[in-house]
C-alpha cells in the first residue's frame, strides 16, 4: 500500500499516512518505509512515526519524494509492506566511521536470523557520509552476493545534514538495511539516459577520501570541465552538472560519477568515489528518457508480472535534468503508473557499487510463487 502527504507538521503528516496505509480492511504491515522532506522537525517526526504504526518504521531525508502522484518536492511518501510471502527485518548500521566492522557485524546477524535463505536488501544511508562504496561492497559480498539496491539520503541540495530513520530516531552517520526473503517474485531495476562522448578528462590530482578532484588534465578541475562545455566557471551549477555528467568505464559499461559542486579553490566535489589518474568521459543526454525508463520497467515485469510496488532510488540530478528538459511530469507520471515509491537521492546503490545519476529500484511482484 502506497501513501503520500503534504501536511506541513509532523503530527498531521503521520495521521494522514496512517489513514492511507492502515485503512479499514487493509492488512497490518510488517514494515513501513518513509521518505521525508528535511523541512520537517525530525525530532518530532521520528517519535510520531514510531507511535503511529504497529510495526517497524524506517526511512530517510530526501531531496524530493516519489509517490502515488509522481515527483513530489515536499511532504512525505511512504509504502507499507505486508507479511504474506515476506520474511523481513530492518538492521541499523552505525557509526559509519567504523563502516567495515559495523557492516560485517550486521551481515553476521543477518546470517543468524535468516539462515541459508536467498535474500534481497534495500539500503538507506547517510548521503554525506562518503562511505557508501565501502558499505555497499562489504554488505554485498559478506551476504553472499545478495541482490542489494538502495539510495543515499538527501537534504534538498543544502549539503548540511542527511539522516536515516530507525526506531523513531533520525540519525547521522548511519544506514538502515532492510533484509527480505520473499516467496514473491522480484526484480532489480537499473537505468540511466546518458551516453559517453569523445571528450576525456584525466584526474591529475585529487583527494580521494574527500571525493574531490583538484585538477583535470593539469588544469583546475572546474576550469577544465567548464572549458569542455564552452562555458565559464561562473555558469557551473547543478543544472549544468545534471545535463553534462562525467562517466567512468567499468568493465563493459559506463557508470556516472556526478559533480556535486564547485569549491572555492576551483576544485570539484563529487557524489561518488574518485581517484587520481582516473579517465573520465563527458556524458551526453539521450533524448528518449521516458522510453528508456518504460523499457526497463517492462523488462522487469516480464519476469515478475505487474508489481505491487517498486522501491525506487532516483538521483536528484536526474530530476533536475528532467525538469530542465520539461520531462519531469511525463517521467513522474510513468513512475506513478508503475507504482514507484521512493526518493530523489545523493547517490544510488546497485549490488556492491555506489553510482550516480541513475535509477535503481526493487520491484516486488503481487503473486506468490
pLDDT, tens digit, 9 for 90 and up, residues 109-150: 999 999 988 899 999 999 999 999 999 999 999 999 999 999
Question: What gap in Å lies between CA 323 and CA 312, rounded to an integer?
Answer: 18
- Looking at residue 367, what is its pLDDT? 60
Give residue 4's pLDDT: 97
- Return d(Cα 134, Cα 305) in angstroms, integer: 34
Domain regions of the chain by residue span? 2-191+290-365, 194-285
pLDDT value at 152 more than 90: yes
Q: To 5 degrees, how large is the angle CA 28–CA 32–CA 36?
A: 145
Percentage of the chain beyond pLDDT 90 is: 85
Task: Please identify which residue in the block is written with the cell numbers 543468524.
Answer: 112
Q: State the average pLDDT for the chain.
A: 94
Q: What number is the average pLDDT over the span 227-253?
A: 93
Q: Which CATH number fits domain 194-285: 3.30.360, 1.10.10, 1.10.3470, 2.40.30?
A: 2.40.30
How far apart CA 60 and CA 50 sit, in angstroms, is 14
Output the pLDDT for position 182: 75
Asked if residue 368 has pLDDT above 80, the reply is no
Of residues 273 and 40, more confidently modeled: 40
pLDDT band at 25 (very low <50, low <70, confident <90, very high): low
Count other Cβ atoms within 10 Å, centred on residue 108: 12
How far apart CA 167 and CA 184 sit, in angstroms, is 27
pLDDT in the model for residue 285: 87
Q: What are the backbone dihedrals phi and psi of residue 114, each rounded to the nearest 5 degrees, phi first?
A: -105, -20
Residue 302's CB is within 10 A of a number of other CB atoms, namely 8
pLDDT, tens digit (0-9, with 9 covering 90-100), for 71-84: 999 999 999 998 77
Nearest in space to 71 (alpha carbons), one of 15, 18, 4, 163:
4
Running DSSP on this structure, what letter comes out for residue 81?
E
pLDDT band at 287 (very low <50, low <70, confident <90, very high): confident
State the pLDDT confidence band at 369, using cuts at 50, 70 and 90. Answer: very low
Amino acid at each position: 500500500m502506497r501513501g503520500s502527504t503534504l501536511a506541513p507538521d509532523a503530527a498531521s503528516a503521520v495521521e494522514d499516512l496512517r489513514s492511507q496505509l492502515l485503512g479499514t480492511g487493509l492488512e497490518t504491515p510488517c514494515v513501513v518505509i518513509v521518505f521525508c522532506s528535511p523541512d520537517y522537525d525530525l525530532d518530532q517526526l521520528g517519535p510520531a512515526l514510531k507511535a503511529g504504526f504497529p510495526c517497524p518504521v524506517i526511512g530517510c531525508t530526501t531531496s524530493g519524494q516519489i509517490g502515488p502522484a509522481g515527483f513530489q518536492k515536499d511532504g512525505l511518501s511512504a509504502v507499507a509492506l505486508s507479511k504474506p510471502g515476506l520474511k523481513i527485518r530492518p538492521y541499523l548500521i552505525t557509526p559509519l566511521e567504523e563502516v567495515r566492522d559495523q557492516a560485517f557485524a550486521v551481515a553476521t546477524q543477518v546470517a543468524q536470523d535468516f539462515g541459508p535463505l536467498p535474500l534481497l536488501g534495500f539500503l538507506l544511508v547517510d548521503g554525506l557520509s562518503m562511505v557508501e562504496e565501502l558499505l555497499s561492497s562489504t554488505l554485498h559480498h559478506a551476504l553472499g552476493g545478495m541482490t542489494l539496491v538502495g539510495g543515499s539520503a538527501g537534504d534538498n541540495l543544502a549539503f548540511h545534514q542527511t539522516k536515516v530513520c530507525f526506531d523513531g530516531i533520525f540519525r547521522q552517520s548511519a544506514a538502515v538495511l532492510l533484509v527480505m526473503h520473499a516467496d514473491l517474485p522480484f526484480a532489480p531495476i537499473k537505468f540511466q539516459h546518458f551516453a559517453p562522448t569523445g571528450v576525456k578528462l584525466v584526474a591529475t590530482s585529487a583527494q580521494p577520501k574527500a571525493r574531490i578532484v583538484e585538477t583535470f588534465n593539469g588544469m583546475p578541475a572546474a576550469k577544465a570541465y567548464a572549458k569542455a562545455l564552452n562555458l565559464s566557471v561562473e555558469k557551473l551549477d547543478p543544472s549544468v552538472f545534471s545535463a553534462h555528467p562525467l562517466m567512468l568505464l567499468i568493465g563493459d559499461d559506463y557508470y556516472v560519477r556526478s559533480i556535486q559542486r564547485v569549491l572555492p579553490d576551483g576544485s570539484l566535489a563529487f557524489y561518488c568515489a574518485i581517484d587520481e589518474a582516473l579517465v573520465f568521459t563527458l556524458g551526453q543526454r539521450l533524448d528518449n528518457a521516458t522510453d528508456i525508463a518504460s523499457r526497463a520497467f517492462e523488462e522487469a515485469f516480464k519476469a515478475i508480472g505487474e508489481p505491487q510496488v517498486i522501491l525506487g532510488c532516483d538521483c536528484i540530478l536526474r530530476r533536475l535534468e528532467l525538469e530542465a528538459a520539461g520531462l519531469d511530469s511525463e517521467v513522474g507520471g510513468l513512475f506513478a503508473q508503475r507504482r514507484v515509491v521512493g526518493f530523489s537521492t545523493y547517490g544510488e546503490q546497485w549490488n556492491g557499487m555506489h553510482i550516480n545519476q541513475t535509477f535503481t529500484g526493487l520491484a516486488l511482484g503481487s503473486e506468490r510463487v
